Amino acid sequence: MDFAAELAKLLAAAEAALTAEEYQALFETPPEREMGDYALPCFKLARTMRKAPPMIASALKEALEQAGIPAWLSRVECVGGYLNFFLDRANFAKTTLAMIEADGDDYGKTDIGHGRVVCLDYSSINIAKPFHIGHLSTTVIGNSLYHIYNFLGYKSVGINHLGDWGTQFGKLIVAYHMWGDEERIEKEGVRALLEIYVRFHDEAEKNDALNDEARAWFLKIEQGDEEALRLFNWFREITIREVERVYDLLNVHFDSYAGESFYNDKMDRVIDELTEKNLLVESQGAKVVNLDEDNMPPCMILKADGATLYATRDIAAALYRKDTYDFAKCLYVVAYQQNLHFAQWFRVIEKMGYEWHKDLEHVAFGMVSLTDGTLSTRHGKVVFLEEVLAMAIEKAAEIMRQKNPELENLDEIAKQVGVGAVVFNTLFNSRIKDITFSYDRALNFEGETGPYVQYTHARICSVLRKAENVAAAEYDFDSICDEESQRLLATLARFRDVVINAADENEPYLIVRYAVEVAQNFNRFYYEHRILTENVGETAARLAITRACRIVLSNALHLIGIAAPERM
C-alpha cells in the first residue's frame, strides 16, 4: 500500500483545491516520528485557498473527519501550518511485512524498464597501463548502475571501451625495442611495461627524436605492419589478462570489450554523414563542427593530417551502439574533466538529426588524487588497485583471525569484506565529489562502512539460523508498534523508492547511505528487543522483521556490487 498516494487521494476527495498528484508532491517526512509519519505543509496552498496556512490545515482536517478517516490512519493533527498524519502502527507493520513477504528476495524490484536496453560505458582502462586507483570510481559506479538498472527491469549492457589506440603504443614499441625484456614482461606484466613507458618519457624529454620514432611505429600499426601489430596485440593480451584478475576480485563483468581500435573501420560513416549534412567546416586545415551557437569551442573531427580524434570515435561508437542495441539510454561513466568533450559531441549527434541524442548521458564523477598530488602514469605516480585490494583483504583476515579464528572459509569471507570496504568507501559520497586517496580511510572498518553493513547482515543470518526450529505462529502486530520496530519498518518500506531515485539520478551513493540506515535501525531494534521470546506471536512478528531486513540488506549490497556474507 502506497500510504502517501492514498493520503493524497483522501485529501483531493475532501478538498479539490489540488489534484491527488499535487497533494502528494507536497508531502514531507517529519524529522521526528513524534511529529507524524507524513506532513502536509499548507503554506503553498495559501494563495490558492486564500487563507492563512494554520486555517487551511484546520479546514483540511475537518473535511477529512467529515469524509471519514480510514482505519489505517490513527489520527490527524494540526500544528501551525502543517497537517500531520499518523499511521496506525499495527496496520502499518502488517501491510509492510505482507508486501516484503509477498515479493521475497525480489522485494524492491520493478519492471519500469520493460526490458529496454541501457548501455553503460565504464572502467575503460588503457592497454599497457596499470589498473590504478584512479580507475576505481568509474568501475564501481558503472558496475552498481549496471545492477540497479537490471533490478528495475532494464537490460544492462556493460561496455569496457578500452583505450587501445594512439601514439602511446608507438612509444611503447620504441621503449620495448630499446629496454624491454620479453621474459620479464611476460612475468611482471603491466608493471614492466609501465617501467619502460616511464623511461621513454624521461629520455624523450632529452631526445625529441624518440617521439618521431614513436609516431612512425604507430603509423605502422595503422598500416597493419606485421611486427607492429604483433607487439600491439601482445601488449593488449598482457593487459587484459592482468586486469581481469582485478575485475574478478571486484566481481565486475562486461558484455563488451570493444575499445577504440574496434571503431577504426567505422569512422568513414561519421565523416561522410557530417559532410553530407554540411556540418563539417575547415579550420586551419582541420575539419570541425562549429558550435558557436552553443557557446562551445568547435568539435574537432579530423586533424589537419587526416587523423581522427576521440570525438570521432565516440560518435562512431554511439552510432554503432544504437544500431546494435537500440538503447533507451547510453551512459558514460567518465570523470567531470571530460564535461566539455561530452557536451560537444552530444551536440554533434543532435545536429546530425538523431532524436536519441537525448538518451545520451555523461555520468560525471570527481577526480582521484594522491595526498601528494595528482596521479600520472607517464611519471610513474600511481597506486595499483590490486595492491589496495590485497591490503584490504589482509586487514579483514587479520581482524577475523583475532575475533573469530574458527570461522569457516575465512579467506573467502575476508576477500568479500576487504573488497567491500574499498568499494563502499568509494561509493559513500555523491559521485561528483573529488577524492584524495588515503589508505587509512579506504581501509577503515569502523563507523558507517561496508564491513559494518556486512556484519549486520551476518548477525541477521545468525539470528535466523537460531530460529530455524521455531514453530510458525500468527504475528502479534501489536508487539511491534514500539519506536525501534516502527522506525525499522518505515525504512524497509522505502527501499523501492530509494532504488528508483538512485537510477533517476545515477547515484549509487543513495543506496549506500540507505544500507547504513537499515543496518543502524536494525541494530537499535536488536539491542532494545529480544527477538526469540517466550511469546510465540511476538517472536513470529520480530522474526518477520528480521527476515525482511535480510532481504533488503542483501539486495542493497548486491546493487552496490558488494557481497553479503552470512557469517563473519
pLDDT digits (tens, 9 = 90+) for 167-226: 889 999 999 999 999 999 999 999 899 899 999 999 999 999 999 999 999 989 988 899
Question: Is the pLDDT assigned to residue 162 strictly greater than 70?
Answer: yes
Task: Report the percent of the chain where pLDDT is more than 90.
Answer: 82
pLDDT at residue 384 in the model: 84
pLDDT band, very low/low/confident/very high, at 31 (cuts 50, 70, 90): confident
Task: Report the percent of the chain where pLDDT is more than 70.
Answer: 98
pLDDT band, very low/low/confident/very high, at 157 (cuts 50, 70, 90): very high
pLDDT at residue 376 in the model: 55
Give the residue-averaged pLDDT of 491-513: 97
pLDDT digits (tens, 9 = 90+) for 173-183: 999 999 999 99
Q: How far is CA 139 from CA 146, 431, 562, in A?
A: 10, 12, 13
pLDDT digits (tens, 9 = 90+) for 336-365: 999 999 999 999 999 999 999 999 999 999
pLDDT band, very low/low/confident/very high, at 132 (cuts 50, 70, 90): confident
Give the residue-averaged pLDDT of 83-92: 96
pLDDT digits (tens, 9 = 90+) for 537-565: 999 999 999 999 999 999 999 999 999 99
Question: Is the pLDDT assigned to residue 377 strictly greater than 60?
Answer: no
Is residue 129 part of the annotated active site? The answer reads: yes
Q: Return phi, psi of residue 296, to 5°.
A: -125, 155
Q: How buried is residue 141: exposed, middle or buried, by Cβ count under 10 Å (0-12/13-18/19+)?
A: buried
Question: Is the pLDDT assigned to residue 379 strictly greater than 70?
Answer: no
d(CA 433, CA 84): 36
Is residue 558 part of the annotated active site? The answer reads: no
Q: Return phi, psi of residue 74, to 5°.
A: -80, -40
- Give the dihedral of Cα atoms 562, 566, 567, 568; nearest 10 deg: 20
pLDDT band, very low/low/confident/very high, at 156 (cuts 50, 70, 90): very high
- The 10 Å CB-count burial string (b at 16+, else e) for 345-384 is bbbbbebbeeeebebbebbbbbebbbeeeebebeeeebbb
Give the residue-averaged pLDDT of 419-442: 88
d(CA 85, CA 287): 63
Vertex 318: Cα angle to 312 and 320 (nearest 5): 100
Question: Is the pLDDT assigned to residue 372 strictly greater than 80?
Answer: no
Mean pLDDT of the chain: 93
How is residue 302 annotated by DSSP?
E
d(CA 243, CA 139): 12
Question: Is the pLDDT assigned to residue 479 strictly greater than 60?
Answer: yes
pLDDT at residue 171 in the model: 95
Question: Is the pLDDT assigned to residue 404 strictly greater than 80?
Answer: yes
Question: Is the pLDDT assigned to residue 375 strictly greater than 60?
Answer: no
| Residue-wise DSSP of 82-107 | EEEEEE-HHHHHHHHHHHHHHHGGGT
Catalytic residue among 135, 171, 220, 351: 135
Q: How far is CA 546 from CA 101, 465, 467, 551, in A?
A: 11, 11, 11, 9
Give the residue-averaged pLDDT of 27-51: 90
d(CA 542, CA 65): 34
Catalytic residue among 61, 94, 129, 201: 129
| Domains of the chain, start order | 3-87 (3.30.1360.70), 117-265+318-374 (3.40.50.620)
The structure's pTM equals 0.91
Is residue 155 part of the annotated active site? The answer reads: no
Distance of CA 18 to the CA centre of its chain: 36
Q: Residue 202 has which C-alpha cell?
A: 624521461
Catalytic residue among 132, 147, 415, 558: 132
Q: Is 370 helix (H, G, I), strand (E, B) or coil?
A: strand
Of the candidate ranges 132-146, 425-439, 480-494, the one whose mean pLDDT is the lowest: 425-439
Give the residue-averaged pLDDT of 358-383: 76
